[in-house]
Structure 1
Amino acid sequence: MRMKRFSALLLLAALTACTSVPEQRLTVPRAPIETKQRIAFGSVALREVSLPGYAAGEEIYFSDATGVLSTQPGLFWADDPGRAITLELSRHLAQITGARVAAEPWPFGGFPEAQVEVRVEEMLAQADGVFRLAGQYFVSSENGRARARLFDLSVPVPDEAGITAIAAARGQAVRDLAVTIARDGLR
């Protein structure tokens, strides 16, 4: 009896192995920083970026021409997207502004002079060959100055470049968002 059960499990495992797609993890390359921007704050805390449900998971979603979202089996982001984008934004804002920037919880003594919160509404590769990052960001400060701005960023994704072009486009879109926040929200 045990031998039959073991044989059945072995057969099931073999069939699953033959039909499953190997898992691939996609990293996001660092987009170069070419912009410097003076801001009104010496220290900035960044709250964890809020992502829509489909973008918060490890699967990488694509939108077809009708707006239907789908994934490619076995293809995942290498890191948790909310965590990764928060850290990317923090790094970019620090490089762009020269300010002390860190993701929350604030790791330094005292309090930051400003806080940034980002809520992403849309983050995906679209059938028209662009990676779109859209949503709203908020800046608040101890001196009472508060701002809320919408953003809608698009980065071209060349068809012939393959799946890694989507990761590069995401990195560029996050970098562009950091430039936008520094220029329009933190000045």
Structure 2
Amino acid sequence: MPIQKPLFDYLSTRRSIPAFQMTEPGPDRTELEQILTLTSRVPDHGKLAPWRFIVYRGQARAELGEQLLSIALKKNPEMTEEARQIERSRLTRSPVVIAVVSTAAEHVKIPVWEQELSAGAVCLNLFMAANAHGYAANWLSEWVAYDADAKTVLGVKPEEKIAGLVYIGSTTFPQTDRPRPELKDIVSWVGEGSE
């Protein structure tokens, strides 16, 4: 099979950019709709679309940050000023943050695990669709994805889970790679051609 060079090159260098290294501009509404359209093209056994998106933009991010800080302070009133600032700015580190919300539920044919895997595929597709539009991205979860009060503030229902918060923006920082696993440590070969 011939290698699809642009895709090969992209996958060879794909990496996350830390959210705190992102700046304006972020994608506008039209670009976000294009990005989310591409994002939804993932494996989805039974065509359930067991996920949804919440897009956080503009001043709403700072307002949500204050609410998240309040929740964090209730759990840890002794937070340092630096820790308070981290919570306050959690959603303002990039111009756009998108929550990928897993809506997986019991189904007569499709296991919940497969539905959750589809939400994970959505997170990676969202990351790559943002990159395809020329934006930096980072897929995070952090404590807010697992805290019931924080989830409520973020617009997530009690029965739903946050598969990831994908931060999207621009960056001027150089892209450096991190160590990747050696194939010998992660691959088992079975069948013809195995050694």
Same fold (TM over 0.5): no
Under TM normalisation by the shorter chain, which class is it?
Answer: under 0.3
TM-score, normalised by the number of residues in structure 2: 0.24
Alignment TM-score, normalising by the size of structure 1: 0.25
